[in-house]
Chains A and B, each alone.
Chain A
Amino acid sequence: MAGVHVSTTVNGDDVEFVCPGSESLLDVLRNRLGLTGAKEGCGTGDCGACSVTVDGQLVCACLMLGAEVEGRQVQTVEGMAQGDQLHPLQRQFIENAALQCGICTPGFLMAAKALLDRNPDPTETEIRYALAGNLCRCTGYDKIVRAVSATAKELSQEATTKGSKKR
């Protein structure tokens, strides 16, 4: 089986791997790079448990090939915290009890981060539609939406205080 040699960046680190041309990015992350934070809930792009970003774009890692990330920037849930500082979304998910079993959580965190990066002040409806590609069977989404709202508020308050300090 001829493998494809791939050089890429994962969570800021340079990474190289060899994989069959048909292997999904999800299998590469989980089985070759030991990053099991992204989960396989379906393998068909329907559940979002495998959500990661590639060059800042939210994707289902199960629908991309490992070979496609050559020269690109991949971000997974494992790269979300900065050192011992959790990302505000991660902290808010814990504080708002936005997870029960937690299998969907990495995917939701990646999708929510992608939303807030592009829209720092989303309405409830915008949050609900932005997260509609991520399935959660435990929570009924109630506390997830609240956690994302709370994070948006927290980040915007931080931005204002920082802004006013600058001035």
Chain B
Amino acid sequence: MTLDTQFTDQKFKLVGSRPDRPDGVDKVTGRARYGADASAPGQLVGAILRSPHAHAKIKKIDTSKAEKLKGVKAVITSADLPDLTNGNRGNYDILENCMARGRALYDGHAVAAVAAIDAETARRALSLISVDYKVLPHVTDVDAAMRSNAPIVQPHVRTAGGEPSDKPTNIAQISTFGHGDVEAGFAKADKIVEKSYKTEQTHQGYIEPHACLATVGPDGQGELWVTTQGHYTFRNLCASLLGMDIAKLKVTSSEIGGGFGGKTHVWMEPLALALSRKANRPVKLVMSREDVFRASGPTSSTSMDIKIGCTNDGRITAATATLRYQDGAFPGIWGMLGAMTAFACYDLENVQSVGYDVLVNRPKVAAYRAPSAPMAAFGVESTIDLLAAELNMDAVEFRLLNAAKEGTKASYGPTYGPIGIGPTLEAVKNHPHMHAPLGKNQGRGMACGFWFNFGGQTCTDLNIGVDGTVNMTVGTVDVGGARASLSLIAAEELGIPYEHVKCNIGDTASLGHNDTTEGSRGTFSSGMATIFAARNAIEELKSRAAKTWDIDPEEVDWVDGEAVAKGVEHSNLGPLSLAQIAKASPNTGGPIAGHSETVADGAGVSFASHICDVEVDPETGSTRVVRYTVVQDAGKAIHPDYVEGQFQGGAAQGIGWALNEEYIYGEDGRLQNPGFLDYRIPVCSDLPFIDTEILEIPNPNHPYGIRGVGETSIVPPLAAIANAVSNAAGVRMDHIPMSPPRIRKAIKAEAAMHQEVSAG
């Protein structure tokens, strides 16, 4: 298998080193300003009233008492947000999710909002708003929502990709992927394993709640300071929902305190703008942690059936998956993404995956790091382990035998270029972790994962100062070290020291459109745009040098940060450094800058394989992760510290998801655990060190070989841990999270079955 590309074995001077991040001092001194850290003169405090019901008709909202309260400057309901969406259903859904329009669709759905002189007054105003609800039947479980007698969440919805029908349904979309003939494939199989799985809903759990500061004047101009992964997308959406001109709304992304996909969507920002417009004062709106859980961004809960068949010598002949993902109260693409990713690690002749997007009375599902892939991987990788056990074959060998490679037609359509699944599996096979002894009640598991990665629209500016230092402005946000990586790239390309580059995140008024920082695109796409912008600046630097020397620009080369005149006839001309050219720039044609506006195509797919050891207490069912190893292909690790950080962070989130985190809804459809006490994410004492191994199989579509690295690390953990727990507890776990009660129940049920068998 050849994995070499034209970018293999590139020699770098700076890329791959580990300098201090440029925003480090700001962030360790408390100076960095996040969403809730800004204020404006005359600012008001916003607050939102939310539905206590999972599903209700809103008969009447009386805001008169709240409006009369001293210190209240604006009260809004959906009546203040006229529908300007012009038949764009997607935008209408966003508008309706920001504030209920006649129906509350989930516990926590916003119904009214106020702006007042202080938080206390705002809270009192909320308590003075009276809402007359007619409670309707609700459904929160994905399987229940698919039954024909289920309460209907969105009466207008008909199944996209399904049989044409007039009947309202909660199945918003059916998406089918695959190729070959699965019936024929199963007929050829010697062994078939078929199993159903469930996963519960989890939240991204960023530590910084959603927060913004909105200012809109009667002149139709506005500013929004907000914690977001995509300030351009927020600008475009907010402007269109509120009927503002895009150019007149300036959105600045604050430092972002974690997003993981949850800050790619607007939740309450249009409300802050609407309040500000009504009050003609700046409005600061910050979600409480409870609001974050009840009304923003969770991922889907799922229910899945997986079937895989293989020959006795371990070759998979057919595989199918039926994946039911809930989208919350608004149609999404989550089941579709699950169906696309489910079998992406394998080279399969006959494969079919069907994804259902299902509506329930829960908050609108948002992207969560490699959205939808972890659950499908849990089902598929658990089944792969079961099949390997049936064959009596080593689980890594079985995967290697069936792994996708360059030229494999992926189950979701395209044909792969050079990819890393095989190499990550080889690395796992040879890793000392795989061969370390296990203690009592311990078990080991491993699993693979895939994510697409994304490129998208990108715009970058690079300005060279007269002292030869470089100011760079990018439009993707820095979610965890991007400034450092992009500065390394600019310095590498220009041939100057890392410390001579300053990377800024531009606001929407100072740079062209950039797509949202999602799909692991930050370093990939802004890295690409940075390279192009630097090369663009180098052209200008060369032409200035040519001018100085009075020779043709064609006769100038750029070598290690200096312009050099080519050819023996110019051997009398000494090189001109970037700093020298910059210093002379006022007299050679003015400021020197480089730009890049591009659609960063060719994001490289990424694969990871994880190994996990757990110890399960058979008495209590409690599980500890005792050792964890991440192996992932990064394409090229620009700043390895932050690549490792992404690997470790994704693994930790996966560990929380696998063992503990879950949304718990009561019979009444209300969320029972909207806080970090009862929705418990892993803490420091829960985890071991997380070992990492970075593989670098260059992406042929990126000048430095970069692939995205942010998301794939959350894909294998659910499955790797489930395989480990199943091995430790001696019983197959098919329901995530594997909380102590679930594990205990499974162990007991298994014991009872054995007793019955031996008694019978």
Interface set of A (CB-CB < 8 Å, partner B): 1, 20, 22, 27, 30-31, 35-44, 46-47, 49, 76-78, 80-81, 86, 90-91, 93-97, 99-106, 109, 125, 127-129, 131-145
Residues from chain B with a CB closer than 8 A to the CB of A40 are 36, 209, 286
Cβ-defined contact, A97 with B207, below 8 A: no
Whole-angstrom CA separation of A140 from B255 in the bound complex: 20
Stretch at the interface among B21-29, B54-62, B162-170, B308-316: B21-29
Q: Which of B286, B642, B646, B649 contacts A137 (CB 8 A)?
A: B649
Name the distance in Å between A27's Cβ and chain B's nearest Cβ: 8
Q: Which B residues touch A49, using CB under 8 A?
A: 207
- In the bound complex, what is the Cα–Cα distance between A42 and B653 (angstroms)? 18
B693, chain A: closest CB distance, angstroms:
14
Q: Which residue of A lies closest to B478 (CB)?
A: A101
B28 close to A41 (CB less than 8 A): no
For the complex, give the distance between the alpha carbons of A140 and B611 in Å. Answer: 16
Which residue on A lies nearest to B284, using beta carbons?
A: A31
Q: Which of B29, B30, B288 has the most CB of A within 10 A?
A: B30
* Cβ contacts under 8 Å, B480 to chain A: 100-101, 138
| CB pairs A–B below 8 angstroms (16 shown) | A22-B120, A35-B30, A39-B36, A46-B677, A47-B676, A97-B481, A100-B646, A101-B257, A102-B23, A102-B32, A106-B30, A127-B684, A131-B683, A134-B683, A137-B207, A140-B651
Asked if B120 contacts A20 (CB within 8 A), the reply is: yes
Please state if B207 and A142 are interface contacts (CB–CB under 8 Å).
no
Report the Cα distance A141→B653, complex, angstroms: 11
Shortest Cβ-Cβ A-B pairs, 3 listed: A37-B30, A103-B257, A100-B480
Give the contacts of B14-59 with A (CB-CB under 8 A).
18, 20-21, 23-25, 27-34, 36-37, 39
Q: In the complex, which residue of chain B has the Cβ closest to the Cβ of A125?
A: B685
Which residue of A78, A106, A132 is within 8 Å of B684 (Cβ)?
A132
Contacts of A46 in B (CB 8 A): 289, 675-677
* Residues of B contacting A93 in the complex (Cβ-Cβ under 8 angstroms): 24, 28
Q: CB-nearest residue of chain A relative to B656?
A: A137
Chain B residue at minimal CB-CB distance from A103: B257
A44 touches B684 (CB 8 A): no
A35 to B119, CA, bound (A): 18
Q: How far is the CA of A58 from the CA of B278 in the complex (A)?
A: 43
- Give chain B residues whose Cβ lies under 8 Å from the Cβ of A30: 36-37
Alpha-carbon distance between A138 and B641 when the two chains are bound, in angstroms: 13
Number of interface residues of B (CB under 8 A): 58
Tell me, rounded to whole Å, the shortest Cβ–Cβ distance linking B35 to chain A: 9
Query: Once the chains bind, are A143 and B645 in contact (CB under 8 Å)?
Result: yes
Known: A97-B21, A132-B684. A44 touches B29 (CB 8 A): no
B272 on interface, CB distance cutoff 8 Å = no
Q: Report the bound CA distance from A74 to B29 in whole Å.
A: 16
* Chain B, residue nearest A22 (CB): B120
Query: How many whole Å from B100's CB to the nearest CB in chain A?
Result: 25
Q: Please tell me if the beta carbons of B649 and A139 are within 8 angstroms of each other in the complex.
A: yes
Tell me if B81 is interfacial: C-beta within 8 Å of chain A.
no
Contact with A along B598-624 (1 / 0, CB 8 A): 000000000000000000000000000
B675 contacts A42, C-beta separation under 8 Å: yes
Please give me the residue from chain A that is nearest to B33 by CB atom: A36
Instruction: Give Cα A109–Cα B385 distance, bound, in whole angstroms.
Output: 42
CB <8 Å contact, B685 and A132? yes
Which chain A residues border B681 with CB–CB below 8 Å? Answer: 135, 137
Are the C-beta atoms of A94 and B675 separated by less than 8 Å? no
Do the beta carbons of B687 and A140 come within 8 Å of each other?
Answer: yes
Asked if B689 contacts A137 (CB within 8 A), the reply is no
Interface check B173, CB cutoff 8 A: no
- Complex Cα–Cα for A101 and B689 (A): 20
Residues of B within 8 A of A95 (CB): 20
Could you tell me the distance between the alpha carbons of A129 and B686 in the complex, rounded to whole angstroms?
9
Asked if A137 contacts B205 (CB within 8 A), the reply is yes
| Complex CA–CA separation, A128 to B255 (angstroms) | 27
Q: Which residue of A lies closest to B259 (CB)?
A: A101
Q: Is the CB of B255 within 8 A of A102?
A: yes
For A42, list chain B residues within 8 Å (CB): 289, 675-676
In chain A, what residue has the closest Cβ to B28? A90
Residues of B within 8 A of A109 (CB): 28
